[in-house]
Amino acid sequence: MSKPLLQVALDNLNISSALEATRVLADEVDVLEVGTILCYAEGAKAVSILRALYPDKTIVTDLKAADAGTTVAEIVFSAGTNWMTVICCAPYATMEAALEVAQKYNGDVQVELYGDWTFEQAEKWREIGLTQVIYHRGRDAAFAGQQWGEEDLVKIRRLVEMGFDVSVTGGLYARDLGFFEGIPVKCFIAGRGLYGADDPAQAARDFKAAIDKFW
Ligand code: 5RP
């Protein structure tokens, strides 16, 4: 089982605070994410700035796209992203359109699993060529008290068995990773647990130490 990667979700409100975070985190993490909040605040220029500064880093743009797959994918892939996300309730046509653009750029599309989705839909995602999903405990769901539980592990394992690379996110801190021990997680994604830490570089090292301990 390969070791999970570590991804920082830059959910900053502006480019300058995102760059403050990447200055200390870029060397400590494997993947940089232009978070949904940063996408709203700054648009695709956040992607092009990060690409210019970090030419060799994997960059994800967390658009959670729901429509206009071709257009929005073209915007972020031409700006230099490697991967982008679509929301799980998007029409299959939107996912297929985004994937077609992604493949033109040697990139990929990830399906963000939020709220209600079914394994029947997931079968269809595989059929249309999608191979990555992000298993997500939503920020608002976590605020409402939703904890990680056995049912999450069951669903993640089933997605892995279906052939998906599964990334996991949602209010994660290094202390949470042991809960997922034994599951071939592609990538742990953390925002507040990294850029929001008192010492972000140390927090990233703590995540990496947990990954080394459990995988
Ligand atoms: C919110 C997101 C976040 O980027 C993701 O959940 C990671 O952030 P945090 O660790 O702060 O929860 O996609 O929609």
Specify the CATH number for the domain of residue 128. Answer: 3.20.20.70
Confidence of residue 185 (pLDDT cuts 50, 70, 90): very high
What pLDDT score was predicted for residue 140? Answer: 81
Q: Which atom of ligand 1 is nearest to the CA of 11?
A: 4
Q: 190 C-alpha vs ligand 1 centroid, how far in Å? A: 6
Share of the chain above pLDDT 70, in %: 100
Residue 139, pLDDT > 80, answer: no
User: Exposure pattern of 19-58 as b/e (b: 16+ CB <10 Å)?
Assistant: bebbebbbebbebbbbbbbbbebbebebbbbbbeeeeebb
Q: What 3-state DSSP class applies to 38?
A: helix
Residue-range definition of the domain harbouring residue 209: 5-214
Q: 10 C-alpha vs ligand 1 centroid, how far in Å? A: 8
Residue 40, pLDDT > 90, answer: yes
φ, ψ dihedrals at 114, nearest 5°: -130, 145
Q: 74 C-alpha vs ligand 1 centroid, how far in Å? A: 24
Q: What 3-state DSSP class applies to 185?
A: strand
Q: What is the rounded average pLDDT of the residues 177-206?
A: 97
Our count of domains for the chain comes to 1
Mean predicted lDDT score pLDDT of the chain:
96
Does residue 62 line the site of ligand 1, with CB under 6 A?
yes
Amino acid in the structure at residue 101: V
71-116: per-residue pLDDT in tens?
999 999 999 999 999 999 999 999 999 999 999 999 999 999 988 9
Q: Which atom of ligand 1 is nearest to the CA of 172?
A: 10
Q: Which atom of ligand 1 is nearest to the CA of 189?
A: 7
Q: What is the rounded average pLDDT of the residues 130-144?
A: 88
pTM: 0.96
Name the closest-CA residue to atom 8, ligand 1: 191
